[in-house]
Amino acid sequence: MDWIGNAVGRRLVSYLTEEIRDRPEIAYDPARLRETLEVGDVILIAGRSRVAGVIRRMTSSVWSHAVLYVGDMLDVYAPDGERHTLVEMELGIGCASAPLSKYATEHIRICRPFDLDLCEREQVARFCILRLGYEYDVKNVLDLLRYCTPIPLVSARLRRRMLSLGSGLPTRAICSSLIARAFERVRYPILPRVETIADHGERREILHIRHDSLYMPRDFDISPYFEIVKPALVRGFDYRKVEWAERRVRARDARSQPAE
């Protein structure tokens, strides 16, 4: 009976990953994007598939997917010769690498961990690289759905405690939990639970790292410890030099008018 389950699973994955939206109006120039990124950057993607829409609604966020930029740490190339610089956990595929061009035309956001040195950022990248080939944790997606769905008379904290956190297998993960686990290795916070304690008459904040399976793509966006990097602004932006279509039309009309 396993072949029946596998066949149904493949059809379901194919249905969920089918793109149903047009390309976004906002996209970065691939060359500018490549120049902007640094090892350890988290790239959030809005996505255009059915499952992306479900995740966005489930998490009340525009972001449905997260990938990690690893730069030139991978010696893997696409058929056209482009180097793989991304590591991601993708539904139906698992943990795999990909070239930057895969998401060059998508609506994305770059989240950069603040003040991590190159050695620490490479540690984060290496953690994900060593997980290439791991399977996607479908059970974790179901758990997140249960966590995000309001239950009458049950608080969010209690819903967290009621969760069975993913499959429990170390070789299974989802996109955000894999990256969260990588940052946990260097003890870098994303959205920790904050506890205020009294210490010798002074109030101090103690951070508690949440279980990595509870992280979602949006958490890197709203984290107070990640910078939002916009490629259009990195090399400077002068709004005075923006070429507006209206100005071009007016200039063309002015040239076409006969001289009096």
Per residue in 103-151, pLDDT (tens digit) is 888 889 999 999 999 999 999 999 999 999 988 766 655 555 555 555 5
pLDDT of residue 98: 95
Handedness of CA 229, 232, 235, 237 (dihedral sign): negative
The per-residue pLDDT for 165 is 45
Is 121 in contact with 172 (CB distance < 8 Å)?
Answer: no
Reference 74, options 113, 102, 100; nearest CA is 100
| Cβ burial 29-42 (10 Å sphere, 16+ → b, else e) | eeeebbebbebbbb
- Report whether 112 contacts 201 (CB < 8 A): no
pTM of the model: 0.73
pLDDT < 70: residue spans in the chain: 1-27, 49-52, 54-55, 58, 137-174, 193-213, 247-260
Q: Are 153 and 190 in contact (CB under 8 A)?
A: no
Residue 163: the pLDDT is 46
Spatial separation of the C-alpha atoms in residues 192 and 214, rounded to whole Å: 11
Res 124: pLDDT: 97
Helices assigned H by DSSP within the chain: 2-16, 30-36, 50-59, 118-129, 138-148, 156-162, 175-185, 218-222, 231-234, 245-256
